[in-house]
Amino acid sequence: MPEQYLYLLVINTPGRKQEMHILPSRKQRSAYKAQHEEWHLNSIYAEYDVPEHLINQYLNK
Protein backbone atom coordinates (compact mmCIF):
# COMPACT_ATOMS: atom_id res chain seq x y z
CA MET A 1 0.00 0.00 0.00
CA PRO A 2 1.49 3.38 -0.95
CA GLU A 3 2.25 5.77 1.84
CA GLN A 4 -0.43 8.37 2.54
CA TYR A 5 0.34 12.02 3.09
CA LEU A 6 -1.24 14.94 4.87
CA TYR A 7 -0.79 18.35 3.33
CA LEU A 8 0.10 21.26 5.60
CA LEU A 9 -0.38 24.92 4.82
CA VAL A 10 1.26 27.43 7.16
CA ILE A 11 0.12 31.03 6.79
CA ASN A 12 1.91 34.08 8.18
CA THR A 13 -0.10 37.29 7.89
CA PRO A 14 1.40 40.51 9.31
CA GLY A 15 -0.44 41.57 12.47
CA ARG A 16 -2.15 38.19 12.96
CA LYS A 17 -1.30 34.90 14.62
CA GLN A 18 0.30 32.19 12.50
CA GLU A 19 -2.21 29.70 11.09
CA MET A 20 -1.69 26.04 10.20
CA HIS A 21 -4.15 23.94 8.24
CA ILE A 22 -3.96 20.18 7.68
CA LEU A 23 -5.71 19.15 4.49
CA PRO A 24 -6.30 15.72 2.95
CA SER A 25 -5.17 16.56 -0.60
CA ARG A 26 -2.90 18.89 -2.55
CA LYS A 27 -5.89 20.05 -4.55
CA GLN A 28 -7.74 21.18 -1.40
CA ARG A 29 -4.60 22.87 -0.09
CA SER A 30 -4.18 24.79 -3.35
CA ALA A 31 -7.85 25.82 -3.35
CA TYR A 32 -7.66 27.01 0.27
CA LYS A 33 -4.49 28.98 -0.44
CA ALA A 34 -5.98 30.60 -3.56
CA GLN A 35 -9.09 31.67 -1.70
CA HIS A 36 -7.05 33.02 1.22
CA GLU A 37 -4.74 34.96 -1.13
CA GLU A 38 -7.72 36.88 -2.53
CA TRP A 39 -8.37 38.49 0.85
CA HIS A 40 -4.92 38.60 2.46
CA LEU A 41 -2.46 40.01 -0.06
CA ASN A 42 0.48 40.36 2.37
CA SER A 43 0.42 36.77 3.63
CA ILE A 44 3.38 34.42 3.28
CA TYR A 45 2.67 30.74 2.68
CA ALA A 46 4.66 27.57 3.33
CA GLU A 47 3.45 24.21 2.04
CA TYR A 48 4.59 20.81 3.31
CA ASP A 49 3.76 17.23 2.32
CA VAL A 50 4.09 15.13 5.49
CA PRO A 51 3.87 11.33 5.54
CA GLU A 52 0.93 10.34 7.71
CA HIS A 53 3.05 7.96 9.81
CA LEU A 54 5.19 10.90 11.01
CA ILE A 55 2.14 12.78 12.23
CA ASN A 56 0.83 9.66 13.98
CA GLN A 57 4.25 9.11 15.56
CA TYR A 58 4.27 12.70 16.84
CA LEU A 59 0.71 12.52 18.19
CA ASN A 60 1.35 9.23 20.00
CA LYS A 61 4.34 10.48 22.01
CA angle 7, 34, 9 (to 5 degrees): 25
Could you give the count of Cα atoms lying within 13 Å of 16 in the half-sphere of its Cβ? 11
Statement: the pTM of the whole predicted model exceeds 0.95? no
CA 54, 59, 61: angle at the middle one, nearest 5? Answer: 100
- Domain segments of the chain as ranges: 5-59
Structure confidence at residue 1 (pLDDT): 63
- Residue 39 phi/psi, 5° resolution? -100, -25
pLDDT at res. 58: 83
The set of residues, in sequence order, having a beta carbon less than 8 Å from that of 50 and lying 6+ positions away, is 5, 6, 7, 8
Mean pLDDT per 10-residue interval, the chain, length 61 residues: 88 95 95 95 95 86 78
